[in-house]
Amino acid sequence: MSALLEIEELAVSFGNTAAVRGASLSVERGETHCLVGESGCGKSVTALSVMNLLAPGARRSAKRLAFEGQDLLGLSDSAMAHLRGNATAMIFQEPMTSLNPAYTVGSQMTEVLRRHRRTSQRAATDRAADLLARVGITAPGLRLGQFPHQLSGGLRQRVMIAMALMCEPKLLIADEPTTALDVTVQAQILRLLARLQRDLGLAMLLITHDLGIVARVAHRVSVMYAGEVVESAPTAELFAQPRHPYTQGLLRCVPVPGRIKRDEPLGSIRGTVPRIGPGFEGCAFRERCDWADETCRHAIPRHRASRDHGFLCRLPA
Amino acid sequence: MLQFFVRRLIVALLVAATVMTLAFVLTRLSGDLAISIAGPNATQADVEAVRKAYGLDRPLIVQFFDWVRRAVTGDLGESYFFKTPVSSLIAERMPVTLTLGLTGLVIALVVSLPLGILAAVRENTTFDRAVQVVALLGQAMPSFWLGLLLMITFGLQLGWLPISGTGSWEHYVMPGIVLAFSAIPALTRLTRAGMIQAMGSDYIRTARAKGLSRASILLKHALRNAAIPVVAIAAVQLGFMLGGSIVIEQVFALHGVGFLAWESIGKNDFPVVQAVVLVLAVIYVALTMLADLMNAVLDPRLRSS
Amino acid sequence: MSVTTARARTRRGWRSASTWFGAVIVAIAAVCAIFAPLLMPHDPFAQDLGKRLLVPFWMEGSNPAHLLGTDQLGRDYLSRLIYGCRISMLIGVTVSVVSGLIGITLGVLGGFLGGRADDAVLFAITTRLSIPVVLVALAVVGLLGSSMTLLVATLGLLLWDRFAVVARSTTMQVRNLDFVAAAWCAGCSRFRILAFEVLPNIASHLVVVATLEIALAILLEAALSFLGLGVPPPLPSWGLMIAEAKDYMFFSPWVIVIPGVALFVLVLGINLLGDGLRDTFGARSDS
């Protein structure tokens, strides 16, 4: 059975800049797949290109981009619009500005359902209230009639999640949903997402830069660097046996209470993320890697450490 | 919210009071009014008689407070020329000016809103540039000249529209278009800028992510936010149009308030001039308050304290 | 990340072309204004009733001595046009200077001092905006008689609002910037801060406003002169030329077309130049 979402060799560029150069990952039904990487590595762009929500000047291409087996690349914008908010839903990083200030929470939620299904306003409102309760918002009836500016950041993000669930999507793409929130609220939202996923059998593609979140909620992880997915594995395996030098570097950078000794320097990866121009060949990490050599300038083969664990490095290590 | 409006009202009243003072000073600028009223052939005795008759022998302060006291109750004095109350003169002519102003505003909105929206959707294309050119041309166009040109072309050479008077709705078409020309550049630019900003906002990205139709995103979500400043400015533009209609009314011989003021200046009919300045200012102030009110109604963020 | 697309680049290019066009127009107008006596082929006031309403050079039966024809009193149109340019430019610039002085002073004081002073300035601006400008200008000239000085003074006292608004908002922005705070901490007097920190930084915005105000003053003067209460005749203001030609416009339409086109082109040129300056200085908040 094919995966719910399949991305193979996705490439996205804006003018002369290649934001994504070769991203491949797949999301199975009912699993949380985290796409992790630092700022500018192309993870948000990858998420946006699945839903085709990129800015007008973007060019998107892939060997395969399919949802439920259906090709997404050739889909017209109106056909894509029928999928959005419906079978696939997306929530974003900035809850403070992601809701229209001129309309009530209720009207913004019911319009999704009424757009994709034949429902009465009454039924849509009931479902909206139901979902608000599900995401942990008290007095949902009151909230439906309120405007976004009357809600806090955490509440707004819960509303966004509820709104995304209106049409019972199979896939939820969450682009750094907790980054803009307070730490305590972060934990609440993550717990909520995990619970919803279990209860609804939802598949989730969660974009984040925080390895802590990955450890907590992800079934599988894909690590992205400079526009490429460099390693992909089940979470436990990635943390236990990271194969790509970048992943290894990342894990070294995370201080673990209890394991790190006093006066021990914090881990870091030397160098900075390179600017990738057109016609770049080979491994993007080679300048910062302790094991790089001449062959790293040429195309890197994809290795498999096990059936589910792939990585882009010449080292079998 | 209520507190905000009470404060605005107080400011509005103060502005009206200041304008009242300025209007009074304005008409007293030329010195002795009695001489102007009595005419060039008057004798000293005639001038004295006029002075007593019109109460111009009293101290200026007394005259001023008399004017204020009466104006507040709606008595704007009596026209020297027509010998009728000024307020009834203005009331008679106001419908023409209001019709003209509203016609101009409606035409301006009907043109600016679609153009602004389309220009924003096709940002940086030839169409967008063309719209900006049109806005520029409108800004540079002298209104009285445009009026004359329209008169020659549509009134005389083509004979489609009447060139003067106020008989029917056709009489307001050309003057309305000329008046609209003064507001179209600003309204178009504002609509375009507002739409561009709205379309780039996060809530529009959410709307797209929800799979809403293009029309819904553009007109229901974006326009609703972009229109807020446009509506407010439209009210203010109406105020400008009413205040600036004097030129158009003269060109097209429309007997509105502006035309009345124009005639009264020529005849040194000071009470009328004074009163018209005050009335137009009060209307403008009322319109700006209306604009604030509409802002509050349209933008939910302004409603709760 | 702001990516300059090809579309955005061509748009900026177009902007420069139109800005240069505007600059050329303004330059021509300035030359006409300054060198009017040298450029005029005839005396703009000389009447010759034998040569009334001659047609311009593009029509049949024109007289080569009068390239743009003559008006209803036999005066050479081209000369009157050039002299009218001088009048328009003169009025535009002087009104802009007067209103600029008033408006900038008010705006800077209000924006810099804040509090009660700012409230007073805002009140003055609000009051000024509610006054019907054309009407009041007409009334003043109508009551006191028309003269250039009176006209410039009246318009200068009426058109300072945009200067004040822009000066005030830009001063408020600059006042909050760090380098002003640094100067304050270093012990600079308020006057020094105003003169050396605030004014240089708001100057570019004010230049943009000044060009747009020149255009506005020219249009207003034309309207007033058209109504007979502007520049005193026989001075050939373009507005007055259009008014005088109104009676003949049905048979000889060029008599109102020519000065109108001149007026339109000049104002357009000034606006284009102002827009171009605004883009150059990166000041998007002045509309």
Nearest to B301 among A82, A111, A149 (CB): A149
pLDDT score of A90 more than 90: yes
Question: Six-digit token pair at C109?
Answer: 């004081």
Query: Closest by alpha carbon to A80, among C94, B214, B153?
Result: B214
Nearest Cα residue in chain A from C7: A57
Report the distance separating Cα A233 and Cα A309, nearest Å.
4
Span A123-141, pLDDT tens digits: 999 999 999 999 989 999 9
Across A261-275, B166-180, C155-169, least confident range: A261-275
Contacts of B136 in chain C (CB under 8 A): 268, 271-272, 275
Interface of B with C in 211-270 (CB under 8 A): 239, 242-244, 246-247, 250, 258, 261-262, 265-266, 268
pLDDT digits (tens, 9 = 90+) for B70-121: 888 878 888 878 888 888 999 999 999 999 999 999 999 999 999 999 999 9
| Confidence tier at B203 by pLDDT (50, 70, 90) | very high
Hey, which chains touch A, using 3+ CB pairs under 8 Å?
Answer: B, C
**pLDDT tens by residue, C141-161:** 888 888 889 999 999 999 999
Higher pLDDT, B199 or C279: B199
Mean per-residue pLDDT over chain C, rounded:
84
| CB neighbours of residue C123 within 10 Å | 15
Cα B113 to Cα B190: distance, rounded to the nearest angstrom: 9
Which of left, alpha, beta for A186 (phi over 0: left; psi -120 to 50: alpha)?
Answer: alpha
Q: Cβ contacts (< 8 Å) between C223 and chain B: which residues?
A: 142-144, 247
Mean pLDDT of chain B: 86
Cα distance between residue A221 and residue C261, in whole Å = 70
Task: Say what the pLDDT of residue A2 is.
Answer: 74
- Helix C238-245 to helix C254-281 angle (10° resolution) is 150
The answer to whether the CB atoms of B202 and A84 lie below 8 A apart is: no
- In the DSSP assignment, the letter for residue B220 is I
Chain C, nearest residue to A56 by Cα:
C5
Per the DSSP assignment, residues forming a β-bridge with A220 are: A33, A234
Position C286 confidence tier, pLDDT thresholds 50, 70, 90? very low
pLDDT of residue B209: 94
Q: How far is C140 from chain B (nearest CA, A)?
A: 7
Residues 6+ apart with CB under 8 A from C89: C29, C30, C32, C33, C218
Could you say which of C223, C229, C271 has the minimum Cβ distance to residue B136?
C271
List, for residues A46-77, the tens digit of each pLDDT value.
999 999 998 888 889 999 999 998 899 888 88
What is the pTM (predicted TM-score) of this model?
0.84
Q: How confident is the model at residue C162 (pLDDT cuts 50, 70, 90)?
A: very high
Lowest mean pLDDT: which of A80-89, C177-186, C226-235?
Answer: C177-186
Percent of chain A with pLDDT over 70: 98
* Residues C229, C232: Cα–Cα separation, whole Å: 7
Render pLDDT for A196-246 as a digit per residue (tens, 0 to 9): 988 988 999 999 988 888 888 999 999 998 888 988 999 998 888 888 888
**Residue C169, min C-alpha distance to chain A (Å):** 26
Assess whether pLDDT exceeds 60 at residue C6: no
C4 to chain A, closest Cα gap in Å: 8
Question: pLDDT tens digit string along B117-165?
Answer: 999 998 888 898 889 888 889 989 999 999 998 888 887 777 777 777 7
The helices-and-strands tally (H runs, E runs) of chain B is 13, 0
Q: For C88-102, how does the pLDDT look when each residue is reduced to its tens digit (9 = 90+)? A: 999 999 999 999 999
How many B-C residue pairs are in contact by the CB < 8 A criterion? 130
Q: What are residue A157's phi and psi, to 5 degrees? A: -70, -35
- C105: Cα separation from own chain's centroid: 20
Confidence check: pLDDT of C238 > 50: yes
Q: Which string of b and e fits B141-165 if b means at least 16 CB within 10 Å?
A: bbbbbbbbbbbbebbeeeeebbbee
Share of chain C above pLDDT 70, in %: 93
pLDDT at C3: 35
Q: Is B18 on the interface with A (CB under 8 A)?
A: no
- Contact criterion met (CB < 8 Å) for A101 and B213: no
Q: Enumerate the residues of chain B whose CB falls inside 8 A of the CB of residue A149.
A: 300-301, 304
Per residue in B25-49, pLDDT tens? 887 776 667 776 777 777 788 778 7
In this prediction, residue C5 carries a pLDDT of 46
The pLDDT confidence band at residue C19, using thresholds 50, 70 and 90, is: confident
pLDDT tier for residue C4 given thresholds of 50, 70 and 90: very low
Share of chain B above pLDDT 70, in %: 97
Q: Letter for the amino acid at A196?
A: L
| Spacing of C-alpha B183 from chain mean position | 10
Whether residue C10 is predicted with pLDDT greater than 80 in this model: the reply is: no
pLDDT in the model for residue C285: 45
In tens, the pLDDT along A233-245 reads 999 988 888 888 8
Q: 3-class SS at A89?
A: strand
CA distance C264 to chain B (A): 6
Interval B171-194 mean pLDDT: 91
